[in-house]
Homo-oligomer: A and B are copies of this chain.
Amino acid sequence: MGTTLTAKGAATRQRIIQGAATLIQDQGISSTSLDDIAARTQTGKSQLFHYFPEGKTALLVAVAEFEAASILADQQPYLSNLTSWDAWQDWRNRVVERYEAQGRQCRLGVLTTQLGPASAASEKIAADLQAEWERLLLEGIQGMQQSGHIRPSVDAAAAAAALIAGIYGGVLILLASGSAYHLASALDVGIASLRGH
């Protein structure tokens, strides 16, 4: 990375990150070598270390950032507008559809099981993502309480935590089984419990 970065350099760097992300999704982090990434992105090891002087760990952190950024973006604008039961249902459908489509290559699964454990920095990225996601759900629940859709006696923080746990577990099972049934069930039960059914 020297000091500055030309347009061409920035493009190469981005190509490396995305190529690495794809390889990790396809074959797992432990089977993805720097040589693989170089071959996939039409670069060489010298470029990899040129753009990521701290080596593989730094590259993986960049990949984790890239994945994390897209996970919340994928759920917008629904996730930030959970102001009616229809909106909750729309968000739920978006999540299930997205993860059903991604299947075993889903970004959240890769982030939590492959990239997260790889380094402390990546673990923090995964933790920050989870915290932000949970915060948005909590906001949605509290807003629904203020508008009278959800009873005040509901523990909003616990409900948000339970939803997040259900999503993460559903995705974990999706990774192993390829089925989004558990994810969908967790969301349905969680939302039904908010509605007081």
Contacts and interface: CB of A to CB of B under 8 A. Distances in A.
**Of listed A30, A169, A173, residue having the most chain B CB within 10 A:** A169
Contact of A165 (B117, B159, B186): B186
A interface: dominant SS:
helix
A172 B111 CA distance: 12
A127 B193 CA distance: 28
A176 B30 contact: no
Contacts of A190: 162, 189
Interface residues of A, number: 39
A103 interface: no
Interface of A: 28, 30, 112-114, 116-117, 123, 126-127, 130, 157-159, 161-162, 164-173, 175-177, 181-183, 185-186, 188-190, 192-193
